[in-house]
Amino acid sequence: MKWIAKTARLIHIHFTLAKYGLDKFVWHNPLFSKVNILIIFFPWRWFSKGEMPDGEAIRLALTELGPIFVKFGQILSTRRDLLPDDVANELAKLQDNVPPFSGELAKKMVEKSLSAPIETLFASFDITPFASASISQVHAATLHDGKEVVVKVLRPRIHAQIMRDVELMETFAGLLQHLMKGIRRLRPVEVVAEIKQTLIDELDLLREAANASQLRRNFTQDNSLYVPQIYWQLSRKNVLVSERVRGVPISDISTLKAKNTDLKRLAERGVEIFFTQVFRDCFFHADMHPGNIFVNIEDPANPQYMAVDFGIMGTLGPEDQRYLGENFLAFFKRDYRKVAELHVKSGWVPPNTPINAFESAIRTVCEPIFEKPLKDISFAQTLIRLFQTARRFDMQVQPQLLLLQKTLLNIEGLGRQLYPDLDLWQTAKPFLEKWMKKQYGPKAFLQQLWERLPLWSDKMPDLPEAVADIARFYQNEAHRLQFKSLPVTTHKKTPNVSRKILGASLLVCATLVGLASPYAEMIQQYSAWIFGIGIGLSVWMILR
């Protein structure tokens, strides 16, 4: 019976597009050029709402089609360099202006989830929502201690609606991957699976609360980003209560300018926050559209970002983080050879990729974008050209990096609005260089040893016996070789073997004991010198 539901949904999608006059974009596609005469036989075209501006038609159609389509419109609204102004302005209304559901219904859902009357839970609760999004809506409330909070409530039956459209996407992705060999490189099935998991996570408000708590903890000592406090005792899977933050919407450029906000600093800080989340914490806000970002301008010269809506967060594994950081840094240094080699090393392109040709292709795409202000650079166009180039080298889409790419595009959109002359490269390069040095220098090496010390300390009692076993093994080997070579040669080998074992053992033991000692902090401070001297002494003892 599922195929019947999917067919009905397809018909509904086409009916909605036709109603707003948008099916013309489908039927005028070259793929349907030979059969587009058939559209006159579709009865739902007879119910068209008539001519209206494309931007308004697109916004209304996406709103009517549901949450997944609204999400798509929200992403597009941040890419003003890709859209006409009228369309971009209309789609911007999707950020926080989706039609709300009944406030009375929201109140009943809160009371049912928290098992108490609304008057018991809050000193006041505003029935009229002040923000409404594709998956939830937000009501203002006040706690009995006078603190202002916001109450986020999931839309009723939202889970069933999203799963219906996701199943449709899965069917399309499977068909595309099976029927079109050229599109397999884009891995549509894996990409849809990533989108599905992201949406499922967004439907659990307790997960969002945990995300907010983690991000707030990450920036406790950093005043560049403020994350509201979560009230766990009032939060459930479909209800989330958090501190209410008051700031200027980041899209309200006129107010920011009127308050003499340092827009250059604000734009640079946005880039720094992005790279801090990605490379310091491996945990980043992946839904940074203008509707979710506010600015605290109590100190206009030092503006502070204020984030809300933590339903979509991204994470990176250590390997992806390392390769990504090295790729960024190589790009900034215009070391296209290293970029090509890193793509092969990470498995993003096949191992037999011709490095020279790949390097040349990357240079051709990327070289023109350097030494230009942000207003003159289109990351969208650059990405399109990179995808076209990558197709020649069979580059695979990396689903785990989709959220990161989306967030980077959002950051570009914000930066373009705030300060078009922002030098994105100059802002990011020092941060990445510092990060690479911290991650992979001698001090980082000793820090990793320190972190592994508890595990190693459990095995320390067995170390002397293990060394003795190794010594006995090599001693037996030396006696065995005595019958195959001259006695004088064998006599010289045995002390050498002992020295090697002793030198290696001393190096390991000295490192462990040094890190465990009261002077560990001092040792780490002078790690480069100590590490070099230790290696030198050990090598001398092993080889002498």
The residues that are catalytic are: 287
Task: Kindly report the number of other CB atoms within 10 A of residue 264's CB atom.
Answer: 13
Q: Helices (DSSP H) in 66-146: which residue ranges?
A: 67-77, 85-92, 103-114, 118-121
> Facing residues of 154 across strands?
136
- Return the DSSP state at 100: P
54-81 in b/e form (b: 16+ CB < 10 A) is bbebbbbbbbbbbbbbbbebbbbbbbbe
Question: Two tokens at 170?
Answer: 């899965």
Cβ–Cβ under 8 Å, residues 66 and 401: no
Cβ–Cβ under 8 Å, residues 418 and 270: yes
301 backbone dihedrals φ, ψ, rounded to 5°: -75, -15
- One-character DSSP codes across 231-278: -GGG-BTTEEEEE----EETT-HHHHHHTT--HHHHHHHHHHHHHIII
Cβ–Cβ under 8 Å, residues 312 and 281: no
Taken as a whole, the chain contains a residue count of 544
Measured distance CA(445)–CA(437) in Å, rounded: 11
Looking only at the bridges linking them, the beta strands covering 304-307 and 248-249 are: unpaired
* Amino acid symbol at 166: V
Q: Nearest Cα to 199, choosing from 403, 412, 414?
A: 403
260 backbone dihedrals φ, ψ, rounded to 5°: 60, 35
Task: Strands of 395-505 (E only): list them.
Answer: none
Q: Nearest Cα to 323, choosing from 314, 313, 312, 331?
A: 331
Cβ–Cβ under 8 Å, residues 534 and 510: yes
Place of tokens 């595990």: 455
